[in-house]
Chain A
Amino acid sequence: MKTIEASGLTKYYGSLLAVDNVSFSVKRGEVFGFLGPNGAGKTTTVRMLTGILRPSRGEVRVLGYDMLDEHEKILAREMMGIVPEMANPYVDLTAMGNLRLMGELYGMGKREIEKRALDLLKLFGLYERRKSKVRAFSKGMRQRLILAMALIGDPEVLFLDEPTSGLDVISARMIRDIIRDEHRKGRTIFLTTHNMAEANELCQRVAIIRRGKLVAIDTPEKLKTLGKGLSVEVSFEPMVFEGSAIDSALRVEHRGDKIRIYTDDPDATIRELVRYAEEKGLRIVSLKTLSPSLEDIFVELVGGKDD
């Protein structure tokens, strides 16, 4: 049994087709990344997977439960943790109060809630502030609390819609570490993000959606092989360079104090660069070969524009 199964998911807002016939499945224990430009239909898809929105067409099963059935949906949700996009905790409740409310909504017992809540508060670095109202919390603290709230019931599956967007490095890293921990515990995680490095680092597989349609779905490494060629990055001192000097170059880009040369044959390009430096009497500050990043692939697939 697949943990998440979506088939033929389609959603219209009035006449706007936001998600168009999307099918995929997520295996148990997988971290699955869902990428796409703004307005591509990521949030709409997550909302259909979690039963918040009803698809116009198609089916969703989570942990074998039919998410279109009102009762089965509730049963599935007891094993799901959800972080909606731009959600807030209740600012008039304390951190502890928010966790307690979630625990009660998940049908947990009082003792269990207290214990689990305190563990989570410690894990997320909020323990000292557990008795203050969330109104006084920073954005990062709120987002950490939101994730803690999603984890209260020790869920089998996590749905995270841009959990690190707008956070500082420390909070974002803490959230990523916790995602990794949950993965290690065998949890399944559906992660929406704009951060390619994050997707590359965390996900076993990623799907890319564009204008409501899936355009790619594979492991990050396999997706990278879709990219156009390899490149060599070099930095000289002093920095003088004419693009025409390298015969094996397909394309040359100046990037800060570096030059990136796209090539089909890195070996030949590196030899040419070294010869060039010797001829001109330049010192090589750095030289490395690069395979395309997930971001390169993303830009290639979605055309670098918002939808």
Chain B
Amino acid sequence: MNWWVVRMIKTLKRSFAVAKKDMLIFYLKGPVIIMGLVFPFFLFLAFLIGRHLSGEQLFVGLTAMTAFFTSTAVGPTIIPWECRGRTFERLVASPVSLTAILLGDLQASFYFGLAITFTIALPSLAYLSIHPSFGIFLLSTLLAVLSFSAMTVLMSSYPPTDIPADVMMLSSLVKFSLLFISGIFVPLRSLPPYGRWISLLSPLTYYVDALRHALGGGYLPLPIDFIMLAFFGLAFFFVGSTIHGRVLERRFT
């Protein structure tokens, strides 16, 4: 048992070194800023304009979109960028497991998502004078950002390309599809039954619903929201790292 703990701590420490590197290098890349900050901003404007939304609805839409887009902005392209820059083999050859590397990349997404989501959400709470249940808001945001970050591990796994734009395009496609089925634009209870079934496939749905719970009006049972966010996170990371392991050799040319 003891050696296992030592090994875990070692893995976590080294994955943090990987995350630090990601933060120093990739946060400031143009496409990350555009996909993570500029894009959700305009989407939010589109969501806002010409509709009569309550403060609560505004808050849910803004927070959910920010969390979703910021936590998925960095992750998908880190490894393609590393392959392109010919730094990936060096990294894989260092004394860290692939899991630790992926865990590091996940953290980079997680910190980015968390920092910006809170930076946007907290002032807007004050501005709109909304008082959510803070515990639910905090826990669901943590779980959601973690789950979205894990999704980027899956997104970057296939195809094993060294062209960041390719991954960016594919992941944007997935992100937009998820955005429109997640009950932001149309609340779950107003969706037709088949729409509701489809929406259950998106992790974002559970976050939106949990946020509505925090404001006193969710649709699904709250524990389900939490469980599903955690489940999606674990599944994304597990499946993602398995695929990464399978295709790893194809990245070295």
Could you list which residues of chain A lie within 8 angstroms of chain B, going by C-beta atoms?
Answer: 47, 50-54, 70-71, 74-75, 77-78, 80, 82, 84, 86-93, 97, 101-102, 104-107, 146, 149
Measured between C-beta atoms, what is the minimum distance from B129 to chain A in Å? 42
Whether A70 pairs with B97 at a CB distance below 8 angstroms is: yes
Does B189 sit at the interface, judged by CB under 8 A? no
Identity of the chain A residue whose Cβ is nearest the Cβ of B11 in the assembled complex: A74
Q: A53-B252, A74-B96, A88-B85 are in contact. Are A93 and B24 (CB under 8 A)?
A: yes
Does B192 sit at the interface, judged by CB under 8 A? no
Whether B14 pairs with A107 at a CB distance below 8 angstroms is: yes
> What chain B residues lie within 8 Å of A93 (beta carbons)?
21, 24-25
> Which residues, 1 to 15 on B, are CB-close (under 8 Å) to A?
7, 10, 13-14
> Which residues, 72 to 112 on B, are CB-close (under 8 Å) to A?
85-87, 89-97
Identity of the chain B residue whose Cβ is nearest the Cβ of A46 in the assembled complex: B93
The secondary structure that dominates the B interface is helix
Q: Which residue of the partner chain, among B18, B20, B21, B95, contacts A74 with CB atoms under 8 Å?
A: B95
Q: Which residue of the partner chain, among A54, A84, A105, contacts B95 with CB atoms under 8 Å?
A: A105
> What chain A residues lie within 8 Å of B97 (beta carbons)?
70, 74
> What chain B residues lie within 8 Å of A104 (beta carbons)?
13-14, 17, 20
Give Cα A93–Cα B17 distance, bound, in whole angstroms. 13
Q: Which residue of the partner chain, among B20, B86, B93, B95, contacts A107 with CB atoms under 8 Å?
A: B95
Give Cα A97–Cα B57 distance, bound, in whole angstroms. 45
Measured between C-beta atoms, what is the minimum distance from B81 to chain A in Å? 10
Identity of the chain B residue whose Cβ is nearest the Cβ of A11 in the assembled complex: B249
> What chain A residues lie within 8 Å of B93 (beta carbons)?
50-52, 77, 82, 84
> What chain A residues lie within 8 Å of B92 (beta carbons)?
52
Whether A47 pairs with B17 at a CB distance below 8 angstroms is: no
> What chain A residues lie within 8 Å of B94 (beta carbons)?
77, 82, 102, 105-106
Give Cα A54–Cα B248 distance, bound, in whole angstroms. 10
Of B10, B25, B95, B97, chain A has the most CB atoms within 10 Å of the CB of B95
Whether B252 pairs with A87 at a CB distance below 8 angstroms is: no
Q: A84-B93, A101-B17, A105-B96 are in contact. Are A91 and B85 (CB under 8 A)?
A: yes
> What chain B residues lie within 8 Å of A75 (beta carbons)?
95
Q: A52-B92, A106-B94, A107-B95 are in contact. Are A88 and B87 (CB under 8 A)?
A: yes
Give Cα A93–Cα B21 distance, bound, in whole angstroms. 8
Q: Which 10 A-B pairs have the closest CB atoms?
A: A104-B17, A77-B95, A105-B94, A82-B93, A84-B89, A88-B86, A78-B95, A92-B25, A87-B90, A74-B95
